Structure 1
Amino acid sequence: MSFSEIKELLIKMFGNEIILKEDTISPQKSITIDSTHLLEICQFLHVHPNLYFDFLSCITAIDNGPEIGTLEVIYHLNSIPFEHSFVLKVEVTRNKEDEPLPQVFSLTPIWKTADWHEREAYDLVGIDFIGHPDLRRILLPADWQGHPLRKDYKEQEFYHGIKVKY
C-alpha cells in the first residue's frame, strides 16, 4: 500500500483534521497527527487487515528549540508482510523549567518495542509517556539533572563530587 493510500485510509477513518502536517518531499514520507489521537490511530494501523503495521522499528524525539517551542516524537512504522512503511509524528508543546514534562501516550500496549525507545526519549529529551509500564531513565543515573538532548540543556558541573563539565 502506498503512502498516499495509507494517508487516505486514515482520513477516511479519523477525518481530515487529524493530519496537521504532511511531508512528501523527503525520501521517507511522514504525517504529523494530533497527539491526542496517537493511541487509537496506531491501534488502527496495527490491526487493520490491509495495513498490519506489525513492527515499530524506531522511536526518536527531537527538540525544536525554545524559539519554536515544540518537541516531536517520531515513529517509524513497518509492515513486514505487506512491505510498506511510513513515519508518523506528533508534536507537543515544550515545557518551561518549572512546568511538568509534555505528555504523549505510550505505545507499549500495541508494540512492546516501544518500551526502551520511550524510556530513551524520556531520559534524553524529557517527554512523559502516559501509561508506560516502567518509565525511568535508561541511559543516565536516576538522579541526573535535566535532559541532555534539549537545546537549552546546561550540564551539571559536578555529579556526586565528580567534575563532569570541563
Structure 2
Amino acid sequence: MSIAEIKSLLIEKFGEGVVVGEETTGLQPALLIDPDRIADVCLELRDNPQTYFDFLSCLSGVDYGVEAGRFGVVYHLASIPFQTQLTLKISKENGRDLENLPSFPTISSVYRAADWHEREAFDMEGIFFEGHPDLRRILLPDDWDGYPLRKDYKTAEFYKGIKID
C-alpha cells in the first residue's frame, strides 16, 4: 500500500482529524498523526490485513528545540510479509519545565517492543507515556537529574562525588 492509500484508510476508519499532516519530501515520507489517536492508529495498522504493520522497528523521542517548545515521537513501522515500511510522527507543544513533562499515550499494548523504546525516550528526553506499564529510567541511574538529549540540557559536573567529563 502507498502512503496515500494508508492515509485514506486511516481517515475512513477514524475521520478527518486523525491525520494532521504529512511529510512527502526526503527519504522517509511520514504521516503526522493526532497524538491522542496514536495507539488506535497503530492497532489498526497492525491488525488490518491490508497493512499488517507487525513490527515496530524504532521509536524515537524528539526535542524540536528551545525556541519551538515542541516535543514529539517518531514511529518506524514495518510489515514483514508485505516488505513495506511506514513512518508516523506525533508532536505537541510543551514548556520545558521538568515538572510538566510532555505526555503521549503509550503504544506498549500494541507493540511489546515499545515498552523499552518508550522507557529510553523517557530517560533521555523526558517524554512521559501515559498508560505505560513500567515507565522508569532504563539507561541512567534513577536519581539522575535532567534528560541528556534535550537541547537545553546542562551536564552536571559531578555525580555522587565523581567528576563527569
| Alpha-carbon offset, residue 22 of structure 1 | 0.7
Give RMSD over aligned pairs.
1.2
1:19 matched residue in structure 2: 19
| Alpha-carbon offset, residue 46 of structure 1 | 1.0
- 1:106-125 alignment to 2 at 5 Å? 106-125=106-125
Counterpart CA distance in 2 for 1:16 and 1:35 is 14
- 1:123-142 alignment to 2 at 5 Å? 123-142=123-142
Q: Does 1:53 align with 2:45?
A: no
**Cα contact 2:69–2:96 (8 A) shared by 1:** no
1:151 maps to a residue whose letter is K
Counterpart CA distance in 2 for 1:83 and 1:2 is 12
- 1:1-166 alignment to 2 at 5 Å? 1-165=1-165
Residue 57 of structure 2 aligns to a residue whose secondary structure is strand
- Deviation readout 1:38-88 (Å, 9 max, x if unpaired): 111111111111111100000011101110110110000111111221100
**Cα contact 1:66–1:94 (8 A) shared by 2:** no
Aligned residue pair count: 165
- Deviation readout 1:73-121 (Å, 9 max, x if unpaired): 0000111111221100100223332532111111110111111111110
Counterpart CA distance in 1 for 2:66 and 2:36 is 22
- Deviation readout 1:99-154 (Å, 9 max, x if unpaired): 32111111110111111111110000110111111111111111000000100011
Residue 87 of structure 1 aligns to a residue whose secondary structure is strand
Percent of aligned positions that are identical: 49
Q: TM-score, normalized by length of structure 1?
A: 0.94
**Cα contact 1:78–1:84 (8 A) shared by 2:** yes
| Alpha-carbon offset, residue 4 of structure 1 | 1.2
**Cα contact 1:46–1:52 (8 A) shared by 2:** yes
Counterpart CA distance in 2 for 1:96 and 1:68 is 10
Which is further off, 11-20 or 23-32? 11-20
**Cα contact 1:126–1:147 (8 A) shared by 2:** yes
Q: TM-score, normalized by length of structure 2?
A: 0.95
